[in-house]
């Protein structure tokens, strides 16, 4: 079955799906996006993704292409048309197509594209047992990382460095040594006293949906939480480290830049959080490992 994409009101075969070459997404990366998970045919944390998309659009004064309710209907249609039960939905909105000129064009219709593809979350369940490695990378991004912008070149470069180092992820490290987040994931450590620490929600990081879900679950399970900056040195000294995202819900980190974290195996606090997270996934979607 060939994949179908939604482009500005129409479902078309992916190979035929196109946008205008003067689309501001193509010309200026003038757009935003979301990635949401479908498990067992149901969306995970969908209201949070819709809310973040709305916020990203408002921050850039891009008109919403449709209401939240309509967006949800189209999302379901795209998943169903592609027969996806376990998979990922991509939503991308740009300011639209207009003669190339930096300032916002007048009266442009935003471009809305949605695609979906299968994704096997069991791969993540397996990685939870082995753990993954990260490397560090200089923080080279702009200062509005809270906007889920499609301008991802620094993230692409960081992830490529990780791939070349055979690591799963690259952590961005500021000039003062602070770890902000990963190239497509939020960064966490577990201090030796059991407190979990992640960078505060601010303009310096993307407010990950999974980050929010995990914070709530940690509090529910009486795990001490601190939203505070930590350095790469703090991470090396931590009992455990892990990362979160929609596509990698809660993965233990066993090495950073080739240095072992803790005893070099996935730690108990991360395992407990991952358990809580998969239970939450099951509660929302009925999906079971």
Ligand X SMILES: Cc1ncc(COP(=O)(O)O)c(C=O)c1O
* Site residues, ligand X (CB under 6 A): 35, 155, 181, 184-186, 206, 208-211, 244-246
Q: Toward ligand X, which CB reaches closer, 66 or 201? A: 201
Q: How far is the CB of 2 from ligand X (least distance, A)?
A: 26
Q: Toward ligand X, which CB reaches closer, 139 or 181? A: 181
Q: Toward ligand X, which CB reaches closer, 53 or 98? A: 53
Distances (CA, A) of 13 to 6, 10, 37, 76: 9, 10, 21, 17
Which of 30, 17, 55 has the alpha carbon at shortest distance from 147? 55
Q: Count CA within 13 A, CB hemisphere, residue 22.
A: 9
Would you say the C-alpha torsion 173, 244, 229, 54 has a positive or negative sign? positive
Q: How far is the CB of 155 from ligand X (least distance, A)?
A: 6
Q: How far is the CB of 171 from ligand X (least distance, A)?
A: 11
Question: How would you classify the pairing of strands 111-118 and 4-7?
Answer: antiparallel
Q: Give CA–CA dist 221/272, Å, rounded.
A: 9
**Active-site residue flag, 192:** no
Q: Give CA–CA dist 89/79, Å, rounded.
A: 7
Q: Toward ligand X, which CB reaches closer, 124 or 211? A: 211
Which of 183, 188, 176 has the alpha carbon at shortest distance from 206? 183
CA angle 258, 260, 155 (to 5 degrees): 50
Query: Pick the catalytic residue: 129, 148, 159, 166?
Result: 148
Q: How far is the CB of 103 from ligand X (least distance, A)?
A: 27
**Whole-number CA gyration radius for the chain:** 19
Q: How far is the CB of 237 from ligand X (least distance, A)?
A: 23
Q: Toward ligand X, which CB reaches closer, 111 or 185? A: 185
Q: Toward ligand X, which CB reaches closer, 210 or 238? A: 210
Q: How far is the CB of 130 from ligand X (least distance, A)?
A: 21
Q: Is 114 in contact with 90 (CB distance < 8 Å)? A: yes
Q: Count CA within 13 A, CB hemisphere, residue 283.
A: 9
CA angle 229, 211, 52 (to 5 degrees): 110
Q: Is 116 in contact with 82 (CB distance < 8 Å)? A: yes
Beta bridge partners of 187: 243
Active site residues: 148
């Amino acid at each position: 079955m060939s994949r179908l994409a939604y482009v500005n009101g129409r479902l078309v075969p992916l190979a035929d799906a196109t946008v205008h070459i003067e689309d501001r997404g193509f010309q200026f990366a003038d757009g935003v996006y979301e990635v949401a998970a479908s498990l067992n045919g149901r969306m995970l944390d969908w209201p949070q993704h819709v809310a973040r998309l709305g916020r990203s659009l408002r921050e850039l004064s891009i008109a919403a292409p449709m209401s939240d309710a309509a967006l949800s209907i189209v999302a379901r249609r795209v998943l169903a048309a592609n027969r996806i039960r376990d998979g990922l939905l991509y939503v991308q909105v740009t300011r639209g197509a207009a003669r190339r000129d930096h300032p916002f064009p007048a009266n442009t219709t935003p471009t809305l594209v949605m695609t979906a593809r299968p994704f096997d979350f069991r791969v993540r369940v397996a990685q939870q047992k082995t753990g993954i490695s990260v490397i560090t990378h200089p923080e080279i991004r702009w200062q509005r990382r809270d906007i889920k912008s499609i301008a991802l070149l620094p993230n692409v470069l960081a992830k490529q460095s990780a791939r070349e180092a055979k690591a799963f992820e690259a952590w961005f490290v500021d000039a003062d040594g602070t770890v902000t987040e990963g190239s497509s994931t939020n960064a966490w450590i577990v201090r030796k006293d059991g407190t979990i620490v992640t960078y505060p929600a601010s303009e310096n990081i993307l407010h990950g949906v999974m980050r929010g879900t995990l914070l709530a679950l940690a509090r529910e399970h009486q795990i001490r939480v601190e939203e505070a900056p930590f350095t790469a040195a703090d991470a090396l000294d931590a009992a455990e480290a892990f990362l979160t995202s929609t596509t990698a819900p809660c993965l233990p980190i066993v090495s950073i830049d080739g240095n072992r974290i803790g005893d070099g195996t996935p730690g108990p606090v991360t395992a407990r959080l991952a358990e809580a997270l998969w239970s939450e996934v099951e509660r929302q979607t009925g999906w079971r490992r």
